[in-house]
Amino acid sequence: MPAADVFALPLTRIALHEGAGGVLEAVLNRPEKRNALDAEAVEDLVRLFDAVPRAGVRAVLLRAAGDHFCAGLDLVEHHREDRSPAAFMHLCLRWHEAFNKMEYGGVPVIAALKGAVVGGGLELASAAHIRVADASTYYALPEGQRGLFTGGGATIRVTQMIGKPRTVDMMLTGRVYRGQEALTLGFSQYLAEGSSDDLAREVAAKVAQNLPLSNFAITSGVSHLQNMSALDASYAEAVLAGVVNTQPDARARLAAFADKSAPRVRADD
Ligand code: 1HE
């Protein structure tokens, strides 16, 4: 299978930068519209995350230009297009195509969240493997107030993050979460004191030091195994571990532990 060149992709809504250590920085680049996701932006996400697993990328830092991560579905386009039920269903399937490629692609995606992470923006964030927020970040599902319903996976991934009762409350009331409370509830795994971009970049650099096959198993493996019965998941986990834990590239790391040159796991790590 040929390697993919992500920098050759015809992207219009996402800008790409080469980060340090094999990290690809993907920037939602429509700040004048608060990075609302129009059909073109969704196709960009599909194109990008289709190529990432074959591009030698060790981690993706997904961040946003401007003050807001993402305002969700492009409501102006949706109003203008006056879509049929079938047309909107097919559009939602493209959202799922993009987000499933992100979640199951086997390359860690670290999202740097700021400002509005709302509606489809929260659905996008929830497909990342690690979310880093900062003091400006807030989360909401305002679809109910707009006469709409979520169509990009909130019923699945947001409920996995924060549970069904809170998700339903957010959908019904438009409730907004932020700050320490949002961190505690599980919207993100990190809350930066400074910029989420900076902390997410640090997290991505750390993740990128793992062997790619380990990261493949951790990211796509955990998601797939969660979809199985416990019986089948334990079988599949053993098979995955058989492949990953005998990879030749791991031998040097194991040797370093055995000869005591590798760092130990300490409480202040
Ligand atoms: C947009 C969008 C959008 C901004 N679609 N154009 N999502 C929402 O309901 C969120 C809707 N947006 C907002 O509540 C606010 O725009 C924000 C809180 C995100 C930002 O506020 P603010 O004051 O900084 O910006 P603004 O003045 O509201 O918007 C600036 C521009 O961005 C303006 O365009 P302009 O041409 O008039 O300058 C806005 O129209 C544009 N803009 N948000 C289109 N969402 C698969 S189903 C998913 C279902 C959903 O995601 S529903 C959407 C939920």
Residue 2's pLDDT is: 77
Residue 77 is among the residues annotated as catalytic for this protein = no
Question: Residues lining ligand 1, judged by CB closer than 6 Å?
Answer: 33-34, 36, 68, 71-76, 92, 95, 116, 118-120, 142-143, 146, 148, 150-152
What type of residue sits at position 150? Answer: T
Q: Specify whether 66 is located in the same domain as 182.
A: yes
Q: Please report which residue ranges of 55-208 form alpha helices under DSSP H.
A: 75-81, 85-104, 120-126, 159-162, 164-173, 179-185, 196-207
pLDDT tens digit at each of 269 positions of the chain: 779 999 999 999 999 999 999 999 999 999 999 999 999 999 999 999 999 999 999 999 999 999 999 999 999 999 999 999 999 999 999 999 999 999 999 999 999 999 999 999 999 999 999 999 999 999 999 999 999 999 999 999 999 999 999 999 999 999 999 999 999 999 999 999 999 999 999 999 999 999 999 999 999 999 999 999 999 999 999 999 999 999 999 999 999 999 999 999 999 87
Residue 246's pLDDT is: 97
Q: Specify whether 130 is located in the same domain as 200.
A: yes
Token pair in block for residue 170: 């957010």
Token pair in block for residue 172: 């019904």
Pairing assessment for the beta strands 177-178 and 138-140 based on DSSP bridges: antiparallel
What Cα–Cα distance (Å) separates residue 41 from each residue in 12, 132, 240? Answer: 7, 22, 34
Q: Specify whether 120 is located in the same domain as 75.
A: yes
Ligand 1 centre from 33 Cα, in Å? 6
Q: Which of 13, 34, 37, 117 to mutate to test the pocket of ligand 1 (most atoms within 8 A of CB)?
A: 34
Q: Specify whether 233 is located in the same domain as 119.
A: no
Residue 150's pLDDT is: 97
Dihedral sign, Cα of residue 194, residue 196, residue 199, residue 201:
negative
Residue 123 is among the residues annotated as catalytic for this protein = yes
Q: Specify whether 253 is located in the same domain as 191.
A: no
Taking CA atoms only, the protein residue closest to ligand 1 atom 3 is 74
| Residue 87 covered by a domain | yes
| Residue 65 covered by a domain | yes
| Residue 264 covered by a domain | no
How far apart, in whole angstroms, are the C-alpha atoms of residue 165 and residue 230? 24
| Residue 8 covered by a domain | yes
Q: Specify whether 174 is located in the same domain as 254.
A: no
| Residue 83 covered by a domain | yes
For the sheet with 23-28, list strands across it.
Answer: 14-18, 23-28, 59-64, 109-112, 130-133, 190-191
Q: Specify whether 198 is located in the same domain as 247.
A: no
Cut 0.85: pTM above it: yes
Q: Specify whether 27 is located in the same domain as 113.
A: yes
Residue 1's pLDDT is: 73
Ligand 1 centre from 53 Cα, in Å? 31
Longest dimension (CA), the chain: 66
Taking CA atoms only, the protein residue closest to ligand 1 atom 30 is 33
Q: Please report which residue ranges of the chain form alpha helices under DSSP H.
A: 39-51, 75-81, 85-104, 120-126, 159-162, 164-173, 179-185, 196-207, 212-216, 222-226, 230-244, 251-258
| Residue 54 covered by a domain | yes
Q: How many independent structural domains does the chain possess?
A: 2
| Residue 112 covered by a domain | yes
Residue with tokens 């080469």: 18
CATH classification at residue 35:
3.90.226.10
Q: Specify whether 201 is located in the same domain as 232.
A: no
98-111 burial, b at 16+ Cβ within 10 Å, e below that, comes to bbebbbbbbbbbbb
DSSP 8-state code for residue 21: G
| Residue 221 covered by a domain | no
How far apart, in whole angstroms, are the C-alpha atoms of residue 226 and residue 236? 11
Token pair in block for residue 223: 């998601």
Q: Specify whether 108 is located in the same domain as 157.
A: yes
Residue 50's pLDDT is: 98
Domain that holds residue 237: 228-258
Residue 268's pLDDT is: 86
Q: Specify whether 46 is located in the same domain as 127.
A: yes
Q: Specify whether 141 is located in the same domain as 44.
A: yes
Ligand 1 centre from 9 Cα, in Å? 27
How far apart, in whole angstroms, are the C-alpha atoms of residue 6 and residue 211? 21
Q: Which of 33, 80, 137 to mutate to test the pocket of ligand 1 (most atoms within 8 A of CB)?
A: 33
The answer to whether 28 and 64 are in contact (CB under 8 A) is: yes
